[in-house]
C-alpha cells in the first residue's frame, strides 16, 4: 500500500457469475485499483466461486457453504479486509477507471465524511438510476401511501422519500444511498459494528447510514464519476421473497429506531401501513 489509505473492495455474490466476472475485470482496469478485493460467495449454484478462483487468483475468495445473506456476508468480508477504506460493491456493477480515485479524493477532502457514492447508470438506456433516498420517516411513508408522491413528484414535499425532484447533477450531502457502490471510512463504521444482521437482506444499508448520521458523520454523493449497474441481478431471481423481505426490513427499522420515539398512535398507524403495503405488494409479486 502506498501513501494513500489502503482500499479493500468487498463484494457479496449470489448466482451472478458473468456479471461478477465483468465487475472484477473493471476493478482490474481501475486507476488506481483497490489494494485488495474480497469476494464472499453465498453458496452460488452457477459456478461463481470456481470462476473467481480460476480467473482471478489474486482475489480473496470466501466460499460460504450456505447463503448467509447480504448483511452477514458483508460483515464476513469486511472482517477479512485490511484496508482503511472499505469499498462496498454489488457484483452487478462495472466501475469506471476513475471511480475509485474520485471517491478517495472526496473522502480525503472532508474528514467528517463517513462514506461517498456516485451515479449508477443503466447499462441499456444509459440513464441515471435513482439510488438515493431520504430516511423513511412517518411523513415520507404516508405521503407515498396517499399518492402524493405520484401527484407531485417534482415537489420537495411530495417527492421527498425517493427524491424524485432531484436530477443527480449536483454534488450534495445525502441520507441513504444504495450500497451498490459505497466507499466507507473504516474508522467511522467499525465502532458501530458495521451491518446489523437482524436486517439480513434489506434495510441493513439504511440502518447503517442512519447510525452513521446519528453518530455525527456525513455521507456525500458526487456526479463526477459513474458506475454501470445491472439493477437487481440477484434479487430478481426471488422477486416475491425479495418484496416480503423488504417490508420485513422496513418493519425492523421502525421497531429499532422509532418505537418509543413517536406518539403511540402515529407509530401504530405507520406500522399498520407497512404491514398492509407489504401484503399488497407481496400479492402482486406472486
| Among 39, 37, 38, 41, residue whose Cα is nearest residue 67 | 41
CATH match of 7-128+167-233 with 2.70.170.10: no
β-strand pairing of 172-173 with 218-229: antiparallel
pTM: 0.93
Q: What are phi and psi of 126, to 5 degrees?
A: 65, 15
Neighbours of 266 (CB within 10 A): 14
> What is the spatial distance between Cα 49 and Cα 45, in angstroms, rounded to a whole number?
9
The ranges assigned to domains in the chain are 7-128+167-233, 234-286
Q: What is the pLDDT of residue 285?
A: 58
Report yes or no: 93 and 180 within 8 Å, Cβ to Cβ: yes
Q: What is the pLDDT of residue 38?
A: 98
Q: What is the pLDDT of residue 2?
A: 46
Q: Is 103 helix (H, G, I), strand (E, B) or coil?
A: helix
Q: What is the pLDDT of residue 283?
A: 62
Helix (H) or strand (E) holding 22: helix 17-28
What are the tens digits of pLDDT across the range 79-115? Answer: 999 999 999 999 999 999 999 999 999 999 999 999 9
Quick one: CA dihedral 58, 225, 233, 122, positive or negative? Answer: negative
Q: What is the pLDDT of residue 244?
A: 82
With 0-12 / 13-18 / 19 or more C-beta atoms within 10 angstroms meaning exposed / middle / buried, residue 1 is exposed
Q: What is the pLDDT of residue 284?
A: 61
Q: What is the pLDDT of residue 1?
A: 42
Q: What is the pLDDT of residue 277?
A: 81
What are the tens digits of pLDDT across the range 221-236? Answer: 999 999 999 986 555 5
β-strand pairing of 176-177 with 132-133: antiparallel
Q: What is the pLDDT of residue 282?
A: 62
Which residues does 81 contact at the CB level (< 8 Å), separation at least 6?
8, 10, 36, 38
- In order along its 286 residues, the chain shows pLDDT tens digits of 445 679 999 999 999 999 999 999 999 999 999 999 999 999 999 999 999 999 999 999 999 999 999 999 999 999 999 999 999 999 999 999 999 999 999 999 999 999 999 999 999 999 999 999 999 999 999 999 999 999 999 999 999 999 999 999 999 999 999 999 999 999 999 999 999 999 988 999 999 999 999 999 999 999 999 999 998 655 555 566 777 888 899 999 999 999 999 999 999 999 998 888 876 676 665 5
Q: What is the pLDDT of residue 120?
A: 98
Amino acid at each position: 500500500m502506498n501513501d494513500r489509505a489502503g482500499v479493500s473492495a468487498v463484494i457479496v455474490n449470489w448466482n451472478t457469475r458473468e456479471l461478477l466476472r465483468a465487475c472484477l475485470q473493471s476493478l482490474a482496469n481501475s486507476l488506481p485499483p483497490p489494494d485488495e478485493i474480497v469476494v464472499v460467495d453465498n453458496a452460488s449454484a452457477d459456478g461463481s466461486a470456481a470462476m473467481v478462483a480460476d480467473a482471478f487468483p489474486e482475489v480473496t475468495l470466501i466460499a460460504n457453504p450456505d447463503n448467509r445473506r447480504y448483511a452477514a456476508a458483508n460483515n464476513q468480508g469486511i472482517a477479512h479486509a485490511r484496508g482503511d477504506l472499505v469499498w462496498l460493491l454489488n457484483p452487478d456493477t462495472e466501475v469506471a477507471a476513475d471511480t475509485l480515485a474520485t471517491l478517495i479524493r472526496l473522502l480525503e477532502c472532508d474528514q467528517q465524511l463517513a462514506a461517498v457514492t456516485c451515479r449508477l447508470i443503466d447499462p441499456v438506456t444509459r440513464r441515471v438510476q435513482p439510488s438515493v433516498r431520504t430516511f423513511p420517516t412517518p411523513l415520507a411513508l404516508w405521503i407515498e401511501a396517499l399518492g402524493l408522491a405520484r401527484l407531485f413528484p417534482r415537489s420537495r414535499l411530495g417527492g421527498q422519500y425517493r427524491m424524485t425532484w432531484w436530477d443527480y447533477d449536483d454534488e450534495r450531502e445525502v441520507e441513504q444511498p444504495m450500497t451498490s457502490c459505497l466507499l466507507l471510512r473504516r474508522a467511522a463504521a467499525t465502532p458501530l459494528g458495521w451491518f446489523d444482521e437482524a436486517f439480513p437482506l434489506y434495510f441493513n444499508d439504511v440502518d447503517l447510514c442512519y447510525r452513521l448520521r446519528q453518530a455525527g458523520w456525513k455521507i456525500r454523493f458526487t456526479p463526477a464519476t459513474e458506475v454501470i449497474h445491472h439493477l437487481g441481478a440477484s434479487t430478481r431471481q426471488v422477486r416475491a421473497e425479495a418484496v416480503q423481505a423488504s417490508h420485513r426490513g422496513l418493519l425492523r427499522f421502525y421497531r429499532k429506531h422509532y418505537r418509543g420515539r413517536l406518539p403511540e398512535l402515529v407509530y401504530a398507524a405507520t406500522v399498520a401501513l407497512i404491514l398492509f403495503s407489504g401484503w399488497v405488494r407481496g400479492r402482486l409479486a406472486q
